[in-house]
Amino acid sequence: MPTAGELRVELGCGKGRFTVGTAQAEPEALIIAVERIPDAMVIAAERARDLDLKNVFFIDADAADLEAYFASGEVDRIYVNFCDPWPGARYAKRRLTHPGFLLRYRKVLSSGGEVHFKTDNHDLFEWSLFQFPKAGFRLSEVTRNLHENGPRGIMTDYEEKFYRLGTPINRCVGTMEELPSSENPL
């Protein structure tokens, strides 16, 4: 899609409600959704096909392997929506907002590239707010109740379910800046 204004990558797209909604709303952006469970990804791909979307593609892959698919500096924005919270310190490295992942995102993001993060999980969100700066991302648009004054933005499948249950949705944006040299983020 050489005419694409922006390249955006969604990690763990699940059944793709957000993926197709975003692709539909922003036809000039190229959306690539990464999902490691093929059964979920197929549903997302069928949704895109049914809407005849031309600006969305899917990769059946692990978010840890982004560098195998994208060149350095190629990606403008990464979406991490309702990733698995992996409670307990033992599994922290599996969280998609762990510095190990954030440092990998740096390798494919363009200068000033962004990570847009949403979750229903309060503990994961509060923990993640400390991880972004460690990996050289400046935080903005931090909210602990995104839909407080009515629905905002395109919802994911999980988000719609939590919204209907009245669970507050947390959201923030991390913008890539220089990596702090003084500390080891891992």
Ligand X SMILES: C[S@@+](CC[C@H](N)C(=O)[O-])C[C@H]1O[C@@H](n2cnc3c(N)ncnc32)[C@H](O)[C@@H]1O
Q: Which residues are catalytic?
A: 84
CA atoms within 13 A on the CB side of 19: 31
* Percentages (nearest 5) of helix, strand, coil residues in the chain: 35, 25, 40
Stretch that binds ligand X, among 10-18, 123-131, 134-142, 170-178 (CB under 6 A): 10-18
Binding-site member from 1, 24, 26, 36 for ligand X (CB under 6 A): 36
CA angle, residues 141, 146, 147, in degrees to nearest 5: 150
Q: Are 106 and 135 in contact (CB under 8 A)?
A: yes
Confirm or reject binding of residue 142 to ligand X (CB under 6 A). no
Distance CA 39, CA 9 (A): 19
Confirm or reject binding of residue 45 to ligand X (CB under 6 A). no
Residue nearer to ligand X on the CB measure, 59 or 182: 59
Distance CA 135, CA 98 (A): 9
Shortest distance in whole angstroms from residue 127 CB to ligand X: 16
Confirm or reject binding of residue 34 to ligand X (CB under 6 A). yes
Shortest distance in whole angstroms from residue 54 CB to ligand X: 22
Residues that bind ligand X (CB under 6 A): 11-14, 34-37, 40, 62-64, 81-84, 156-159
